[in-house]
Amino acid sequence: MNKRVSLKDVAQHVGVSIALVSYVLNGQEKEKGVSPEMTVKIRKAIAKLNYQPNLVAKGLKSGKSHTIGLIVADISNPFFSAIARVIEDEATKHGYVLIIGSCDENAAKSRHIEDVFLNRQVDALIMTPAIGSQRQIKDILKRKTPVVLIDRYFDNLKVDSVRVENYQAALAGVLHLINNGRRRIAMVTYRTELLHFRDRREGYKAALAQNDIPFNPGWIVEGSYEKLDHDIATGLGQLLRTAGIDAIFFANNTLAVAGLKVLNALGIKVPDQVAVVSFDESEAFDLFYSPVTYIRQPIEAIGKEAVRMAIDRIQGSTADSRMMTIPATFIVRESSGSK
C-alpha cells in the first residue's frame, strides 16, 4: 500500500515489459503497434494500481522540467501576486508548474534565485528584473534558458519583455489633472533607475511641458524602498506645507497609500485642496473618502503574454527578442476632480 508504484510494477503486474506500458501511457499504442487487447489490459492495471508517473524521472530523461520560474520583487505585494496568479493560471493551462521567488529589488538575491531555479532545470524564467541584473540575465540567455522580463526592462539588452505604456499613461494622468485646472502638480516616485519609473517621470514632465508649466525638480518627492513611509512623510509633508501644491501624481499604489496617509495627517482635503492621480490600483483607493483616480495596469494581459512568449521560446522559437507594450487604462473617479 505504501511505496509509489512505478512503470516496472505495472509491467510486472501485467507480465509485460515496461516499454509497452510506457507506450500505452503516452498514447503511442497505435504508432508502436501494441495489440488492442494488451492495451486494454495495461490500461486496467494502470488504473487498478493507481499508477502515477514520476515527473522528476521524466524530466531527467527529457531535459524538460515543465516548470517555469517566476521571480518577482516581492510576492506579498498585491501587484505582483495578482500577476503571479494570472501567470499561474496560464502556466497550468499549458501543463506547466510555477516556482516562485522574491528578490526584493536586489540583484544578488535575484542571482541566487536564478541559480537555484536554473539548477532545477526550469524551462523558462519570467522575472521583474532588479537593477543591475542585466549581466546575469545575459548569462542565463547564453545558457539557452528563455527569459521574459515583465514590468521592468533594460535598454540594450536583447531579451523578450512585456511592458506597459508607462510614458503615455503618466502623460494622460497628468494632463487630466491639468485639464481639471491644476498647475502646481507634484510627483511622488521612487529614487530608482528602473526605466519604467523613469518613463512615468518623463510622462509627467511632458504633460507639464505641453502646457507651458515649468518643471520644478523640487516638486518631485522620492522615496526609498527601505523606509518608504518615513521618506514620503518627510519629503511630501515638507512640500505640502511650503509649496502650495494643488495636485499630486503618484508613480505607484504603494507610494499613493503612503502619500494619502500624509494628506490625511495634515488634514488636507482631496480633491478640494489637492487632487490626486495614481498609477496602479489598490483596494484602499475604493475606500478612501474621495475614491482615487488611477491608471489600471493590464495585469491579465501582461501575465498571459509573458507565458505565451516563454512557451514560444521553450518550443524552440529563435526569433529576434520581442518587446510587447500594452496600453494601460485610465479610471477617472473623484480624487482628481476640478476645483
Site residues for a copy of itself per CB under 8 A: 1-2, 4, 52-57, 59-60, 65, 67, 74-78, 80-82, 84-85, 88-89, 92, 97-102, 115-121, 142-144, 257, 260-261, 264, 282-284, 286-289
Contact partner at residue 38 from DNA, a copy of itself, none, CB < 5 to 8 Å by partner kind? DNA
List residues near DNA by CB under 7 A: 4, 6-8, 15-20, 22-23, 25-26, 28, 32-35, 37-38, 53-54, 57-58, 60-63
| Assigned C-alpha cell, 99 | 516556482
Main-chain phi, psi angles of 178, to 5 degrees: -65, -45
Q: How far is the CB of 286 from a copy of itself (least distance, A)?
A: 6
Q: How far is the CB of 35 from a copy of itself (least distance, A)?
A: 28
Taking each continuous run of H as one helix and of E as one strand, the counts in the chain are: 13, 12
7/107 with CB nearer DNA: 7
Q: Give dist(CA 21, CA 11) in Å, integer.
A: 6
Contact status, residue 149 vs residue 321, Cβ threshold 8 Å = no
Which residue do the cell numbers 509633508 mark?
237
Q: How far is the CB of 250 from a copy of itself (least distance, A)?
A: 13
Contact partner at residue 101 from a copy of itself, DNA, none, CB < 5 to 8 Å by partner kind? a copy of itself
Q: How far is the CB of 285 from a copy of itself (least distance, A)?
A: 8
List of residues 6+ apart from 285 with CB closer than 8 A: 253, 256, 278, 291, 292, 294, 333
Contact partner at residue 153 from a copy of itself, DNA, none, CB < 5 to 8 Å by partner kind? none
54/338 with CB nearer DNA: 54
Contact partner at residue 25 from DNA, a copy of itself, none, CB < 5 to 8 Å by partner kind? DNA
Contact partner at residue 226 from DNA, a copy of itself, none, CB < 5 to 8 Å by partner kind? none
235/259 with CB nearer a copy of itself: 259
- DSSP characters over 101-122: EE-TT-HHHHHHHHHHHHHTT-
Q: Is the dihedral of CA 171, 215, 292, 255 positive or negative?
A: positive
List of residues 6+ apart from 234 with CB closer than 8 A: none
User: Nearest CA to 325 among 295, 299, 300, 302?
Assistant: 302
Q: How far is the CB of 231 from a copy of itself (least distance, A)?
A: 17
- DSSP characters over 140-188: HHHTT--EEEES---TT---EEEEE-HHHHHHHHHHHHHHTT--SEEEE
Q: How far is the CB of 321 from DNA (least distance, A)?
A: 27
Q: How far is the CB of 171 from a copy of itself (least distance, A)?
A: 26
Contact partner at residue 265 from a copy of itself, DNA, none, CB < 5 to 8 Å by partner kind? none
101/203 with CB nearer a copy of itself: 101
